[in-house]
């Protein structure tokens, strides 16, 4: 082999080695760091440019902290693998992301700082809170939407919820599904999701209607609205309520059993 060919061979060989040994998300990790640095710079601005143009209109207080999330929104990915979801959340053109992705095998991936805003909720409303992206942590569970969630995955989810609850004092009522905050637009997590188990662990509310006495004039749609559902479209609100609380029932009509359930949930909200 002449020296020229030999040099070419080594360049080719080393490029292959470099490509194969490079961490798969090295480029997107660099992009994350760059964006986070940009936001850090914004926070460091001093005095703030919106201080009404006068230097003495800025007085730095000594007492402050970072804003904290107050909701947790759970999703299923509706994709075929965790790798597919990680790829989706690292492609700029998709514009979507979540703070955590939990694999079917229970592996937890953290994709951005909890105090930053992920793009997972979209147009959403719960009670009078809109823009849930600004106030919530998004958790995506690797699941195609028509299969049960594995025990490993739910156990990992409980570990993440425990950490979030302790770190941010998230109210028990504020652990919700995407379907809850976007009726008619979203149906995740699916009817397979174990909300009752979560509620028993302290994340989200559940009902016990054994001794529930419902006043005769109780209006179920008003009850759903008080719980938090956007009832602008009643059928959609009922569908979201059913996915979360009565997954075995697929009708969009409310019945006598629902009267008790909704009244009990409303009392706990
Ligand atoms: Zn979702």
Residue 52 has pLDDT above 90, yes or no: no
The Å distance, Cα 14 to ligand 1 centre, comes to: 42
User: Which amino acids are annotated catalytic?
Assistant: 140
Residue 223 has pLDDT above 60, yes or no: yes
Residue 20 has pLDDT above 80, yes or no: no
pLDDT, residue 16, reads 72
Q: 114 or 8: which carries more pLDDT confidence?
A: 114
The Å distance, Cα 48 to ligand 1 centre, comes to: 36
Whether 32 and 112 have beta carbons less than 8 Å apart is answered as yes
pLDDT digits (tens, 9 = 90+) for 144-171: 999 999 999 999 999 999 999 999 999 9
The Å distance, Cα 2 to ligand 1 centre, comes to: 59
Residue 44 has pLDDT above 80, yes or no: yes
Residue 1 has pLDDT above 60, yes or no: no
pLDDT, residue 19, reads 66
Phi, psi of 161 (to 5 degrees): -65, -40
H/E segment holding residue 162: helix 151-168
Looking at residues 119-129, what average pLDDT do you find? 98
H/E segment holding residue 141: strand 136-141
The Å distance, Cα 60 to ligand 1 centre, comes to: 40
The Å distance, Cα 75 to ligand 1 centre, comes to: 4
- Sheet with 175-177, edge to edge strand ranges: 108-110, 100-102, 136-141, 71-76, 175-177
Residue 53 has pLDDT above 70, yes or no: no
Residue 183 has pLDDT above 70, yes or no: yes
Whether 227 and 240 have beta carbons less than 8 Å apart is answered as no
Looking at the domain covering 66-203, what would its CATH class be? alpha beta
- The Cα 106–Cα 142 span in angstroms is 9
- Closest by alpha carbon to 136, among 106, 164, 158? 164
Cα angle 87, 92, 93; round to 5: 100
pLDDT, residue 17, reads 72
Calculate the average pLDDT of the chain.
Answer: 94
Residue 54 has pLDDT above 80, yes or no: no
Q: What are the residue boundaries of the structural domains of the chain, listed by start?
A: 66-203, 207-269
Confidence class for position 109, pLDDT limits 50, 70, 90:
very high
Confidence class for position 248, pLDDT limits 50, 70, 90:
very high
pTM of the model: 0.92
Count of other CB atoms within 10 angstroms of residue 49: 9
pLDDT, residue 180, reads 98
């Amino acid at each position: 082999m002449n020296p020229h060919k030999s040099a070419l061979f080594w360049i080719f060989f080393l490029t292959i080695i470099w490509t194969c040994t490079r961490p798969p998300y090295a480029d997107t990790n660099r992009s994350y760091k760059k964006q986070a640095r940009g936001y850090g710079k914004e926070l460091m601005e001093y005095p703030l440019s919106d201080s009404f143009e006068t230097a003495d209109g800025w007085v730095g207080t000594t007492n402050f902290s970072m804003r904290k999330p107050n909701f947790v929104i759970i999703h299923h990915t509706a994709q075929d693998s965790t790798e597919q979801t990680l790829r989706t959340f690292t492609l700029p053109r998709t514009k979507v992301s979540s703070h955590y992705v939990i694999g079917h095998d229970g592996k937890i991936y953290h994709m951005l700082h909890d105090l930053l805003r992920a793009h997972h909720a979209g147009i959403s409303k719960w009670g009078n809170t809109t823009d849930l992206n600004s106030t919530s942590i998004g958790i995506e569970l690797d699941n195609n939407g028509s299969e049960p969630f594995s025990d490993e995955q739910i156990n990992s989810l409980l570990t993440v919820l425990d950490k979030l609850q302790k770190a941010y004092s998230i109210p028990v009522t504020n652990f919700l599904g995407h379907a809850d905050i976007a009726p008619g637009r979203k149906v995740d997590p699916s009817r397979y999701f174990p909300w009752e188990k979560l509620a028993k662990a302290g994340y989200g509310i559940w009902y016990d209607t054994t001794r529930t006495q419902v006043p005769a004039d109780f209006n179920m749609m008003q009850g759903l609205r008080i719980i938090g559902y956007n009832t602008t479209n009643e059928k959609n609100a009922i569908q979201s309520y059913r996915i979360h609380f009565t997954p075995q029932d697929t009708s969009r009509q409310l019945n006598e059993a629902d009267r008790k359930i909704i009244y009990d949930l409303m009392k706990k909200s």
